[in-house]
Each structure stands twice: as structure tokens, then as C-alpha cells.
């Protein structure tokens, strides 16, 4: 029998086996990536650092792979004409990105939630639908370490709850609906107000378009007859929402909390308002992946526990937290991806209240979502089995550093799996924008300061310009870097290879 040894170490994997007469070959996938290298070389707990790097590498190489049955049952396998080879390359990129970037960050977040919940005496955690789907799966992996905390899944969305939370027609609700940062289709707006398909809806659409003055629209909708119809619809919606919350046990525990991606904190405020419909109001806390500088004050929402806190760390120039909050749709739509449909309301079926769903066309295809989830959960299981949950400080520090480095300079080979993705930038599907796209000379000419600039979205036509730069040609890259740093800097980098 002839043995063959594969590995990446020049001594133990190549020289030593050859001395023993064993055929040895260098296996490149086993080499540490720059993100695994950062973990391996981290200062502090050497054992935990080595374990983290090894877990990332192990999961990247062999973790989270689909079974043959899952491959056969995924109907979107070659939905866009991919060959088997290109499809496998795409999923390999998804797996690598999940193992090195997404999994450490999400596991660090979930462990933060579980530790803080235990310290705060929280009895039940409600993970809100879609963005909470993967965090709930991760929390289930670690639940034996936190047996006193009950985990639940709650179907929700801002527009399933917000009109019901207000409960009446008012200027504040209208301002939320007409947020200029999130353009909304007027027909969907009328559906939110339970006016869709009525004579009032037809009259409104005959008078106004999305470009018309919002104050004039509010005045029209504030006519007594129209306001009465809106309030009737909001009352019906509120009854259904309260019945669903009662069904899911929101008043059963003295102290519970929701887990969500966050950014503004309005979801916690809405739920708090809804819970105040009864005399005995439970203590509702909020656990959020991140909150931006536009967050609501805690006095409106209740106690908040924030993993990425702009007020605490995000205001520091160059902070990984600042960058992640600026590009929050990447952790929100990619890292917390879900193949589930979006809840937009509730209906009564017999004695039960069931969520109403609509399709969510944007984002990864189901097979990519499945691969991402499997890889992240493989990392969580390895980390839990290794008993490394106590090394949370190191995990959080490396996860944030890797995520920031990824956002600033993503590997070109990873960008293939997200090249054709669109992100929904409106709260009611008001619009979408490519996550990345190949840049043109015109884009470069119009480019100014990309980082954190909302105005740059329209100029560059993509949400993530650094990702767009990664898939663009070398001359485009040279022009962008020259515009930012000067030709002398570009030539210096070129000479360095």
C-alpha cells in the first residue's frame, strides 16, 4: 500500500513524511487565511486563540456541507444558469465567508445576549422572525449552558406592529410611514392603513403620487370620514396583534426580552406600547445586534443591551463598530440571512392567530442560505464542544476586527457569491439597490467619500462600494486608489507587489 500525506506545513506535512518515504503533497486549502492568521496570532489567551483559528479553518474546509439529499431537493440549484462547477465554487465562497466572518461574529453576539440575559434575570427570550432565525438556532446550541433561559420565536415586523402600536391616526404614524430615507409605494401605504381596494384609496391615488407633498397627503387623509375609516382599520389590526402576543405568552413571564438586529430601537418601543394594553405590564428588555446614532432613548423603549453600540464605540473614527453600523445591511441581510417569508400582519384561523406572509425576493437563494446556516451552526457546535464559551472577549475582539477588515477590503473570490444580490432599502419594498456591481469610469469620476455616506448610494449605484471595487478591473482600482491617495501611493503599492 502506498500512503499519501496532504498538508500545508513545510516541515511536519512535507519534509517529515518524505523522509519516511511517504508521498507528501501541499494542500493549499489547509493554509490559514488572513482572518484565521489574525485569530492565531492574537495576544492574550494563546490556547483560546489557537482553538479559534483551528475552529475557523476546520469549518471552512469541511464544516456545514450539504448532504446529497439536500442538494437534490434544492430547486434553485442552477436557477440562473450556473454550471455544477460554478455552483460549487459559489457555495465554497459562501462557506468560507461564513466560517471566517459571519460565524464568529454571530456566535459572539448570541453569547453576549445569553450572558447579559442571565445577569439581568431574563426568563424568556423572543427572537423576532427572519433576522432572529439564525441567532435562535445558535442560541439553541448553547442552551444547555443557560438552562434557566427559555427560547422562543416570534413572527413580527415593523409594519405588522407599528400601526397597531399607535392604534390611531396621528402625525407621528404618518411621519414613520413617510420616512424620506425609506420611500414607500403609496398602494402599500394604503394597505398598511387598511384602505387598500376602497373608494378612499382610489380617490387618494387620483389626487397624489409619491413625489407630492407629504403634508398635503396628511391633510387629505385627516378628513373626518377618512380618519374614521383609518382608525377602524387600526383598531381591528391592534386586536389581532394583541391576540397573537397573548397566544405566544408575552404576558406569562415577569421579565422577558426580544432579540433583534436593531438599529433604531423602534420595534422594542412598539412592543412595549402594545404590552401596556393590560394592567399588569411585564418588564420588557431589548437585545440588539446594533443601534445607530438615530436610536430612540431608553426612556421610550425600556432597558437595552447592545452588541454594537454607536454611542459607546461607534463614534470613534476607525472603530470596527462604526464601520459595521455604517454598512448595517450587510450583517442584516447577509450574515442574518433567512429563507423564510416576511410577516406583514396576522389573521384568525379558528381559535388561533396565524401570521400573514409575503415572499421576500431579495437576498441569497435558498441553497446559499442553507449553506450559510449549516456553516455557522457547525462553528457554534465546535466552539461549544471545545468548551471555549468562556473565551468570549477574544472571540468578540477577533470577530469585530475580521468583519471590519472584510468590509474594507473583501477578497475578490468571495464576491462571486453575492455579485447578483439586491438589497431592499425601503421599509415597504420602496426600492432596491445592488449590493455590489462592477464599477465604470463614470462611477469613479463621481466617487467621493464612500464610507458612511448615504448620498454615495445614488452616485455609485451600489450599497457596498468596496465590494464593487473588489470585482472591478485593475485599472479601475488604480484610478480609485489614485483619487484617494495619489499616484505615488499607487505606484508604491504596485512595486511592492
- Express each pLDDT in 334-377 by its tens digit: 999 988 888 989 999 999 999 999 876 556 788 899 999 999 99
Tens digit of each residue's pLDDT (9 = 90 or more) over 206-236: 988 877 788 899 999 999 999 999 999 999 9
Cα 449 to Cα 444: distance, rounded to the nearest angstrom = 11
Cβ-proximal residues to 441 (8 Å cutoff; 6+ apart), any chain: 476, 479
Tens digit of each residue's pLDDT (9 = 90 or more) over 110-135: 999 999 999 999 999 999 998 999 99
Tens digit of each residue's pLDDT (9 = 90 or more) over 393-439: 899 999 999 999 999 899 999 998 888 888 765 544 456 778 888 88
User: In which band, very low, low, confident or very high, does the pLDDT at 79 lie, cut at 50, 70 and 90?
Assistant: very low
Q: How far does Cα 292 stand from its chain's mean position? A: 14
pLDDT at 388: 67
pLDDT at 75: 47
Domain map of the chain by residue range? Answer: 116-358, 436-497
pLDDT at 476 over 60: yes
Highest mean pLDDT range out of 240-249, 285-294, 310-319, 469-478? 240-249
pLDDT at 262 over 50: yes
Q: In the block, which residue shows the cell 439564525?
A: 134
Task: State the average pLDDT over residues 20-49.
Answer: 84
pLDDT at 460 over 70: no
The per-residue pLDDT of the chain, averaged, comes to 84
User: In which band, very low, low, confident or very high, does the pLDDT at 26 lie, cut at 50, 70 and 90?
Assistant: confident
Tens digit of each residue's pLDDT (9 = 90 or more) over 284-301: 999 999 998 888 888 889
Nearest to 125 by CA among 248, 274, 273, 263: 248
pLDDT at 88: 83
Cα 275 to Cα 68: distance, rounded to the nearest angstrom = 46
Helix axis angle, 103-120 relative to 46-62, nearest 10°? 130
pLDDT at 389: 66
Q: By percentage, how much of the chain surpasses pLDDT 70?
A: 87
CA atoms within 13 A on the CB side of 151: 21
Sheet with 255-263: strands ordered across: 150-154, 124-128, 255-263, 283-291, 304-309
pLDDT at 426: 52
pTM of the model: 0.88
Amino acid at each position: 500500500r502506498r500512503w499519501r500525506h496532504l498538508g500545508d506545513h513545510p516541515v511536519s506535512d512535507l519534509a517529515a513524511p518524505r523522509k519516511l518515504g511517504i508521498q507528501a503533497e501541499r494542500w493549499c486549502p489547509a493554509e490559514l487565511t488572513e482572518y484565521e492568521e489574525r485569530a492565531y496570532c492574537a495576544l492574550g489567551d494563546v490556547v483560546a486563540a489557537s482553538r479559534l483559528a483551528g475552529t475557523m479553518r476546520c469549518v471552512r474546509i469541511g464544516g456545514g456541507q450539504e448532504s446529497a439529499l439536500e442538494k437534490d431537493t434544492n430547486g434553485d440549484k442552477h436557477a440562473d444558469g450556473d454550471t455544477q462547477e460554478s455552483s460549487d465554487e459559489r457555495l465554497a465562497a459562501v462557506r468560507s465567508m461564513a466560517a471566517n466572518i459571519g460565524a464568529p461574529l454571530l456566535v459572539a453576539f448570541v453569547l453576549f445576549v445569553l450572558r447579559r440575559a442571565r445577569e439581568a434575570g431574563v426568563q424568556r427570550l423572543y427572537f423576532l422572525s427572519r433576522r432572529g432565525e439564525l441567532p435562535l438556532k445558535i442560541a439553541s446550541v448553547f442552551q444547555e449552558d443557560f438552562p434557566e433561559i427559555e427560547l422562543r420565536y416570534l413572527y413580527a415586523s415593523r409594519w405588522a406592529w407599528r400601526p397597531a402600536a399607535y392604534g390611531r391616526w396621528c402625525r407621528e404614524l404618518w411621519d414613520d410611514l413617510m420616512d424620506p430615507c425609506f420611500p414607500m409605494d403609496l398602494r402599500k401605504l394604503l394597505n398598511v392603513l387598511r384602505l387598500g381596494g376602497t373608494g378612499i384609496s382610489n380617490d387618494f391615488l387620483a389626487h397624489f403620487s409619491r413625489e407630492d407633498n407629504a403634508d398635503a397627503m396628511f391633510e387629505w387623509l385627516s378628513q373626518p370620514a377618512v380618519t374614521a375609516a383609518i382608525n377602524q382599520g387600526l383598531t381591528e389590526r391592534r386586536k389581532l396583534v394583541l391576540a397573537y402576543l397573548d397566544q405566544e405568552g408575552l404576558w406569562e413571564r415577569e421579565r422577558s426580552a426580544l432579540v433583534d438586529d436593531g438599529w433604531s430601537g423602534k420595534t422594542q418601543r412598539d412592543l412595549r406600547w402594545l404590552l401596556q394594553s393590560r394592567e399588569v405590564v411585564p418588564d420588557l428588555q431589548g437585545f440588539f445586534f446594533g443601534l445607530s446614532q438615530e436610536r430612540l432613548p431608553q426612556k421610550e423603549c425600556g432597558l437595552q443591551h447592545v452588541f454594537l453600540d454607536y454611542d459607546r464605540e461607534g463614534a470613534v473614527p476607525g472603530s470596527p463598530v462604526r464601520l459595521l453600523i455604517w454598512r448595517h445591511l450587510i450583517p442584516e441581510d447577509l450574515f442574518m440571512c433567512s429563507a423564510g417569508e416576511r410577516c406583514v400582519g396576522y389573521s384568525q384561523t379558528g381559535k388561533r392567530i396565524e401570521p400573514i406572509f409575503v415572499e421576500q425576493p431579495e437576498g441569497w437563494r435558498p441553497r446559499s442560505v442553507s449553506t450559510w446556516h449549516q456553516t455557522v451552526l457547525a462553528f457554534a457546535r465546535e466552539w461549544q464542544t471545545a468548551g471555549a464559551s468562556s473565551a468570549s472577549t477574544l472571540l468578540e475582539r477577533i470577530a469585530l476586527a475580521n468583519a471590519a477588515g472584510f468590509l474594507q477590503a473583501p477578497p475578490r473570490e468571495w464576491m462571486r457569491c453575492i455579485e447578483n444580490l439586491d438589497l431592499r432599502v425601503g421599509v415597504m419594498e420602496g426600492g432596491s439597490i445592488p449590493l455590489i456591481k462592477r464599477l465604470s469610469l463614470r462611477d469613479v469620476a463621481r466617487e467621493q467619500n464612500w464610507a458612511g455616506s448615504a448620498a454615495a448610494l445614488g452616485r455609485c449605484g451600489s450599497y457596498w462600494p468596496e465590494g464593487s471595487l473588489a470585482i472591478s478591473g485593475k485599472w479601475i482600482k488604480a484610478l480609485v486608489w489614485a483619487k484617494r491617495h495619489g499616484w505615488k501611493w499607487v505606484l508604491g503599492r504596485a512595486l511592492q507587489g
